[in-house]
A and B are shown apart, each in its own frame.
Chain A
């Protein structure tokens, strides 16, 4: 029983990363119809940005939480304006291939400069140490990860689903011409949306830096699971991806206790099942 609770808690922590990352992916896909294969690489950028800020500018964890996503978000904006924008008229498959290529470039560049092994990044002083829960010892930082992710997801979801700005964004994807007729600068909205999605990936990266080794392939290690999460949640559904992310973390935790060898594959098995029985995803709108 103790083992179950502790693995569930660890699973929830992993789930936080899945949720944050799939949120960014779902926003980009739902609103731009682009599969952002570079999402994992941009998450890596966020982590490296935090490390570089600390190493060369002495900027600590807390300011990096805001600064790194800003910087990486700007990178995202640059990518969208110079390259992605040209592909909106052609088969969406090309968008996928472009972002895949970008991911290779970013990962390759980092590995050239820093090698494949991890850079050290310390847990911020305020969050060091752990609390004894009886059935396990939970490091404060990992608890913070869960709290922060839930907060960010909640705020973003609210912004998109419940505010006027969010409504405009959603309308712009459904019918850009009409929205443009209302005087709204649609291309700029699309750029900013991509930037937002990328910034979310970067924030997840900063969150990961103290506990996961900061290395070029860290994004690649996560990204495919995150894709599966988005498929399970329903590819355009913001709420679906958040819920699925956390849920999947928990499911993985249970699997590690019941059948440890299956913990890596359970997400894909779930994805296959969802696709067979509910192709639009758990919360998605039928295509």
Chain B
């Protein structure tokens, strides 16, 4: 089962579904789900593989959104270059934040990332020439691809752009996960002292993972800014950080495809319950509690375990 999951068939299946989807479902909803799915997968790289819970990942998501929005609006830079620039910026930011945070583990790491993210939130609130303060950066042009060849104002072309970005990011994460690099990360998560005794420069591996996670989170954030043509304070809010934790937890921590399910489910929930805004908050909390107490493997983990049990049972 595990080996099959690492192969190309599930990936092809995912791509097929996602390519067909916008003709059936409202594309803007799908785009939002894809951006968050990439966000969750990048986050999962840190949580699932290395075991580091960052409670401030929205910092990369939001800052990249602002950067891409500003660069496209003020300098007229194209959509794709803006996303790439924002990704690089996120990586650099990830280096700085990671260097401070990696020194501590477990809960301390979570607290530090939360604190730093909150600091960035307030900086964004103050720096209103760059971020527009409470207004956010509005009227971000969707732009075009391939030097004006494809106009991204229509929802379908934009969707396929977002899909391409998602698949690229997901590809990088999957590659990093199923590689010797990923093995070392998992070793660090399982038993750090042993990894150190084996001679691995543990902090360097953690930092690389952090920077990678930050960069791809930034890519998701920048893309989101173009989808909705808006970058706002909500993107750097700690509630957004909490949401991505929820998506990963629900989908399945440490599973490659898990966070995708988590993201789609949560975005769908919010969309469906938009009229009952108050209930969404309560429901999020309930899902958190239920997952932590009884459903720690998440959707993907539980599904795989059930499948294995089924197969083993059948084989008997």
A–B proximity contact (CB within 8 A): yes
Interface residues, chain A, with chain B CB atoms under 8 Å away: 35, 83, 86-87, 90-94, 96-98, 100-109, 111-112, 224-225, 227-228, 231, 235, 261, 264-265, 268-269, 271-272, 275-276, 279, 287
Q: Chain A nearest CB: distance from B231 CB in Å?
A: 20
Q: Which residues of A contact B287 (CB under 8 A)?
A: 101
Complex CA gap A86/B296 in Å reads 13
| Contact A96 B285, beta carbon cutoff 8 Å | no
| Nearest neighbor of B125 in chain A, beta-carbon distance | A264
9 contacting pairs across A/B (C-beta < 8 A): A87-B293, A91-B106, A97-B288, A101-B284, A108-B279, A224-B115, A272-B119, A279-B103, A287-B108
Complex CA gap A96/B53 in Å reads 10
CB within 8 Å of A: which B261-291 residues: 278-289, 291
| Contact B103 A97, beta carbon cutoff 8 Å | no
Q: Chain B nearest CB: distance from A182 CB in Å?
A: 29
Interface residues, chain B, with chain A CB atoms under 8 Å away: 53, 100, 103-104, 106-108, 110-112, 114-116, 118-119, 122-123, 125-126, 238, 242, 245, 249, 278-289, 291-293, 296
| Nearest neighbor of B104 in chain A, beta-carbon distance | A279
Q: Which residues of B contact A102 (CB under 8 A)?
A: 285, 289
Cross-chain contact of B107 among A92, A103, A228, A261 (Cβ < 8 A): A92
| Contact A265 B278, beta carbon cutoff 8 Å | no
Complex CA gap A275/B108 in Å reads 10
Q: Which residues of A contact B115 (CB under 8 A)?
A: 224, 227-228, 231, 268, 271-272
| Contact A104 B110, beta carbon cutoff 8 Å | no
| Contact B284 A108, beta carbon cutoff 8 Å | yes
Q: Chain A nearest CB: distance from B40 CB in Å?
A: 15
User: Total A-B pairs in contact (CB under 8 Å)?
Assistant: 117
Q: Which residues of B contact A96 (CB under 8 A)?
A: 53, 107, 110
Complex CA gap A98/B107 in Å reads 13
Q: Which residues of A contact B245 (CB under 8 A)?
A: 97, 100
Q: Are A227 and B114 CB-contacts (below 8 A) given A93-B107, A96-B107, A98-B293?
A: yes
| Contact B282 A112, beta carbon cutoff 8 Å | yes
| Contact A108 B282, beta carbon cutoff 8 Å | yes
Complex CA gap A207/B101 in Å reads 35
| Contact A98 B292, beta carbon cutoff 8 Å | yes
Q: Are A94 and B284 CB-contacts (below 8 A) given A224-B238, A265-B123, A268-B119?
A: no
Q: Are A93 and B53 CB-contacts (below 8 A) given A100-B242, A102-B285?
A: yes
Cross-chain contact of A275 among B103, B280, B284 (Cβ < 8 A): B103
Instruction: Supply 4 further A-B pairs (C-beta < 8 A) apart from A101-B287, A105-B285.
Output: A35-B111, A97-B245, A112-B279, A228-B111
Cross-chain contact of A35 among B107, B116, B281, B288 (Cβ < 8 A): B107
| Contact A104 B282, beta carbon cutoff 8 Å | yes
Complex CA gap A83/B292 in Å reads 10
| Contact B114 A83, beta carbon cutoff 8 Å | no
| Contact A276 B100, beta carbon cutoff 8 Å | yes
Complex CA gap A275/B107 in Å reads 14
Complex CA gap A264/B278 in Å reads 28
| Contact B281 A104, beta carbon cutoff 8 Å | yes
Complex CA gap A98/B291 in Å reads 9
| Contact A264 B285, beta carbon cutoff 8 Å | no
Complex CA gap A21/B200 in Å reads 41
Q: Which residues of A contact B112 (CB under 8 A)?
A: 231, 271-272, 275
| Contact B238 A108, beta carbon cutoff 8 Å | no
| Contact A265 B108, beta carbon cutoff 8 Å | no
| Nearest neighbor of A235 in chain B, beta-carbon distance | B108
Complex CA gap A261/B126 in Å reads 7
Q: Which residues of A contact B110 (CB under 8 A)?
A: 35, 93, 96
| Contact B122 A264, beta carbon cutoff 8 Å | yes
List of 7 A-B pairs having minimum Cβ-Cβ separation, nearest first: A101-B288, A104-B285, A108-B281, A105-B285, A268-B119, A108-B282, A112-B278
Q: Chain A nearest CB: distance from B80 CB in Å?
A: 33
| Nearest neighbor of A228 in chain B, beta-carbon distance | B115
Complex CA gap A112/B278 in Å reads 5
Q: Are A111 and B278 CB-contacts (below 8 A) given A93-B53, A93-B106?
A: yes
Q: Which residues of B contact A109 (CB under 8 A)?
A: 282
Q: Which residues of B contact A35 (CB under 8 A)?
A: 107, 110-111
Complex CA gap A4/B125 in Å reads 25
Q: Which residues of B contact A98 (CB under 8 A)?
A: 288-289, 292-293
Q: Which residues of B contact A265 (CB under 8 A)?
A: 119, 122-123
| Contact B288 A104, beta carbon cutoff 8 Å | yes
Q: Are A105 and B100 CB-contacts (below 8 A) given A35-B110, A35-B111, A272-B115?
A: no
Q: Chain B nearest CB: distance from A287 CB in Å?
A: 8
